A and B are shown apart, each in its own frame.
Chain A
């Protein structure tokens, strides 16, 4: 599945050293989002780099979904600076939408369309030409081994196949950033790992992966992880760095300390 050629070795270096300042794809400065009196996102600041796998963790209700909606151009911040894929988060929301991919456990593919129809539909929405869609469809079907089910409706496919296809479709237009909202929930452990193989491959091609998960082992696969508590970013570092700072053996330990400490 993974092509071996031209793979740079990912070293354990600081993100800035590894990715370089010129390669910032998400800049968030002092971002605030209020709903009435309620502060859902309270002064968030962070940067995410090209080709980085960035884990976005937090307890239920910590403000993750609100932040992701803003980063995807679906909602406007109350205040703060925001640049996504080079576009302004207040003005250029339509351009942002074209530069990103999105997939979640709840919403990914159309159940009443076939495998091929889903690929064609998403390809069309993102403005890929008919000829190019045909080429990419063929490649994708072959890569995911879906030849025998390509004309079957999505609703008949096992969840694991669907999620792998949904991810591939979300990056069909080669976006700069792909947002994955709990992409592996309920998926069997082998398929879950095949899914992460695909994430690594995409990141290695230069696509930035912004991912939320409730599986703490998956947090350890990320280059850096941020943890939100009550609307604020309570910690942001490499998994190694977080474990050292919080004196924990794994990310679950870090998460429990931070999220329970409130």
Chain B
């Protein structure tokens, strides 16, 4: 049995009348790369702030490496690295100054844990005398990650590190995380990008303060409980209108150049017949394996 790094039991937090997180329970193993996947307002940041001892829960409990998130907050702060969603380094300090500042606060030096951050740091080292505020988005992100790891934390907490970042930089960032994971560090990361789920060992799909499902990406997909079809015709817009209008349609969502369709009738021949009756040409219908986004939407509409 694997060692537990994070344990959360019946955790809830409200802001006035608004429930930010509702009775969450889960466990994360040591060395796991665990993703919280959900849109803005799902409760991801609230949860992370509680785990980082920056916010008190209303009810329930959370522990990191067996330390309680309320009682043992000082100990937790020494063993976690936290990268908040908003860039929070000192903009008017240089790259180098930010790093040595965070190292000093945690009673260490850049040299002592250099091995851990080397791969990332060498990418920003050419700019080490530049002010942090003047770095590009991708470089800021790399510096923030270095600063969060400078004290060799046991748990790394990354709140939406890839939001607003272009597809290339997002890919590079995830490659960095996969490498970091090899050093045995536990990583929890939140993201609104559904496609990033497949890069995690396990994920929790979170929406409106509730966890809808916690599992490996493969298992979440295998629990999709109906046949899913990708459909394309000569006219995307017309198809969209016709499928939404059809009494056999259960769900019909745009996905790139296709619509992903689930139907009430189990006979898929009716799809083609219906589209033909609506004068569609170049009809293409294939049954497909759902992706995480399909699974997320299925769970959302339940």
Contacts and interface: CB of A to CB of B under 8 A. Distances in A.
Nearest to B294: A189
A160 B234 CA distance: 30
B4 interface: no
B165 A60 contact: yes
A182 B193 CA distance: 14
B59 interface: no
Interface residues of B, number: 40
B241 A190 contact: no
Interface string B259-302: 00000000000000000000000000000000001001100110
B238 to A, nearest CB: 5
A54 B296 CA distance: 28
A131 interface: no
Interface residues of A, number: 42
B253 A193 contact: yes
Interface in A29-66: 58-61
A170 to B, nearest CB: 20
Contact of B138 (A60, A182, A190, A250): A60
Q: Chain B CB within 10 Å — which of A159, A182, A193, A260 has the most?
A: A193
A214 B164 contact: yes
B216 to A, nearest CB: 20
A144 interface: no
Nearest to B162: A214
A189 B40 contact: no
Contacts of A91: none
A124 B241 CA distance: 33
Given A7-B241, A61-B136, A158-B41, A189 B296 contact: yes
A251 B166 contact: no
Nearest to B279: A9
A58 B166 contact: yes
B166 A220 contact: no
Contact of A59 (B42, B166, B253, B256): B166
Contacts of A250: 256
A160 B236 CA distance: 24
A125 interface: no
A182 B164 contact: yes
B289 to A, nearest CB: 15
A22 interface: no
A220 B256 contact: yes
Contacts of B301: 190
A185 B163 contact: yes
A167 interface: no
B31 to A, nearest CB: 29
B240 to A, nearest CB: 7
B163 A259 contact: no
Contact of A196 (B39, B169, B254): B254
B297 A10 contact: no
Contact of A187 (B39, B171, B207, B237): B39
Interface string B158-195: 00000111111111000000000000000000001110
A185 B164 contact: yes
A255 B35 CA distance: 25
Interface of A: 2, 4, 7, 9-12, 58-61, 158-160, 182, 185-191, 193, 196-197, 200, 204, 214-217, 220-221, 239-240, 250-252, 255-256, 259-260
Given A10-B236, A61-B136, A193-B253, 11 more contacts: A4-B245, A7-B237, A7-B238, A7-B241, A59-B167, A188-B38, A190-B301, A191-B39, A197-B240, A221-B254, A251-B256
30 contacts: A2-B240, A2-B244, A9-B238, A58-B166, A60-B138, A60-B166, A61-B137, A159-B41, A182-B164, A185-B163, A185-B164, A185-B192, A187-B40, A188-B38, A188-B39, A189-B39, A189-B194, A189-B300, A190-B253, A200-B237, A214-B164, A216-B167, A220-B256, A220-B257, A221-B236, A239-B257, A255-B168, A256-B171, A259-B167, A259-B168
